[in-house]
């Protein structure tokens, strides 16, 4: 049981930190926010999936991907395709030239549903595609890059190029993807209206549960032998390779896992916000997602969630209070946090909060501990050796 707790909960301290995060997400925020603000927090938490994936990929694996928006967007588009088909039934689209297909296809004079759209009429296929499609895409990128030992800044630039290419492809294929406007007017999920307040509450909690599960999976990976190898690869990749391990395969695995976690966030984003567009696929959102992980601490899964919330709350507050200067304030916030706390919020906790908590706890334990028992001195007695000598032959007067 202790081994399971160590892997999935990170020991006692990890359990406490995870419980605090869960209490904030599941109790504090729903009780203190109206549905509009809570839905905003739900949207922020979908970004946290990407930040958690980046902690595994970048913090532990040393793979800085500046194209995580690719996987976030692919997961979101897979979910959007199912929702769009459900919203495009013949009755709802009877005014179109071709009823039964999405409206943007009709506008672009497409008269039949494309073959690659057909499987997304099935809900379970869509759930599988949300993870498999981004995972396969990440697999081929990883195989192409890591087998050729492309790493560091070169890999980061190439992932940026992939993000840019995918954005251009989505915008250019307007008849199949919705173009620059994306997929909008997503209303129901299996007949359930996702636009109501009650639906938003339910989706918020589902999103939060999936995020906690992703953190637990990440902790299990970090605590395993693979996690130790990831750290070794990050610091001394050549030594790991010379030890007989196939470094490329480990990198591909963690990159695919990071992509799958990011894709789940994209699917939940589509459900909570009700649309998906190429603006969440490109270079800018990908870099923003790296900022979330950096502010929270690239070695902390829970810190990544706090970093995501902090940056996005700051973004919302500054844009509402200072509409002409909010980008400047956001830049100052990011630079200030990185310069003052290079290890992010998790580093701040480890260097300032945790030592004080440990000292307070030690003092409390010492005060509550019972006083030591008094030491009782035993009376001196003659040893057996002395007795034997006294009664031995030398004390016998007849000798």
Grade residue 378 by pLDDT with cuts at 50, 70 and 90.
low
pLDDT given for residue 350 in this prediction? 64
Which DSSP helix (H) or strand (E) runs through 316?
helix 301-321
Q: Please provide the size of the chain in residues.
A: 399
pLDDT given for residue 109 in this prediction? 83
User: Which residue ranges make up each domain of the chain?
Assistant: 4-283
pLDDT given for residue 371 in this prediction? 60
pLDDT given for residue 383 in this prediction? 47
Q: Are 208 and 200 in contact (CB under 8 A)?
A: no
Distance CA 84, CA 152 (A): 39
pLDDT given for residue 399 in this prediction? 38
Section 299-308 average pLDDT: 89
Grade residue 286 by pLDDT with cuts at 50, 70 and 90.
confident
pLDDT of 151 > 50? The answer is yes
Distance CA 265, CA 267 (A): 5
pLDDT given for residue 245 in this prediction? 85
- CB count, 10 Å around CB of 226? 16
Grade residue 88 by pLDDT with cuts at 50, 70 and 90.
confident
Grade residue 49 by pLDDT with cuts at 50, 70 and 90.
very high
Q: What are phi and psi of 120, to 5 degrees?
A: -75, 5
Grade residue 393 by pLDDT with cuts at 50, 70 and 90.
very low
Tens-place pLDDT, residues 211-270:
999 999 999 898 888 888 888 888 888 888 888 888 889 999 999 999 999 999 999 999
Of 226, 275, 352, 367, nearest to 73 (Cα)?
A: 275
Grade residue 357 by pLDDT with cuts at 50, 70 and 90.
low
Task: Return all residues near 81 (Cβ < 8 A) that are at least 6 apart.
Answer: 117, 120, 126, 183
Task: Return all residues near 137 (Cβ < 8 A) that are at least 6 apart.
Answer: 70, 71, 74, 259
Distance CA 223, CA 9 (A): 10
């Amino acid at each position: 049981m202790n081994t399971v707790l160590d892997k999935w909960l990170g020991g006692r301290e990890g359990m406490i930190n995870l419980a605090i995060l869960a209490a904030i997400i599941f109790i504090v925020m729903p009780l203190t926010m109206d549905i509009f603000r809570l839905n905003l927090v739900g949207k922020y938490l979908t970004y946290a999936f990407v930040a958690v994936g980046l902690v595994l990929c970048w913090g532990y694996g040393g793979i800085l991907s500046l194209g995580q928006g690719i996987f976030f967007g692919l997961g979101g588009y897979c979910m959007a395709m199912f929702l769009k088909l459900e919203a495009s039934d013949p009755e709802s689209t009877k005014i179109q030239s071709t009823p039964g297909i999405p409206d943007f296809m009709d506008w672009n004079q497409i008269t039949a549903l494309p073959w690659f759209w057909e499987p997304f009429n099935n809900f379970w296929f869509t759930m599988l595609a949300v993870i498999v499609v981004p995972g396969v895409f990440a697999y081929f990128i990883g195989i192409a890059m890591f087998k050729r030992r492309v790493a560091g800044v070169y890999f980061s630039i190439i992932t940026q190029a992939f993000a840019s290419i995918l954005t251009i492809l989505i915008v250019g294929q307007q008849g199949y993807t919705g173009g620059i406007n994306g997929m909008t007017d997503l209303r129901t999920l299996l007949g359930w209206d996702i636009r109501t307040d009650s639906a938003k509450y339910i989706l918020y909690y589902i999103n939060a549960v999936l995020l906690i599960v992703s953190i637990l999976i990440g902790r299990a990976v970090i605590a395993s032998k693979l996690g130790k190898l990831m750290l070794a690869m990050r610091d001394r990749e050549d030594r790991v390779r010379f030890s007989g391990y196939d470094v490329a395969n480990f990198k591909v695995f963690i990159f695919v896992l990071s992509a799958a976690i990011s894709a789940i966030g994209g699917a939940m984003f589509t459900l909570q916000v009700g649309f998906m567009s190429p603006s969440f696929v490109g270079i800018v959102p990908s870099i923003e997602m790296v900022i979330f992980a950096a502010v929270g601490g690239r070695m902390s899964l829970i810190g990544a969630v706090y970093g995501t919330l902090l940056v996005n709350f700051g973004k919302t507050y500054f844009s509402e209070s200072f509409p002409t200067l909010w980008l400047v304030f956001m830049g100052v916030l990011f630079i200030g946090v990185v310069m003052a706390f290079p290890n992010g919020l998790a580093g701040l906790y480890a260097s300032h909060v945790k030592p004080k908590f440990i000292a307070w706890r030690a003092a409390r334990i010492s005060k509550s501990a019972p006083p030591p028992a008094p030491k009782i001195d035993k009376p001196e007695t003659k040893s057996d050796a002395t007795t034997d000598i006294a009664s031995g032959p030398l004390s016998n007067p007849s000798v």
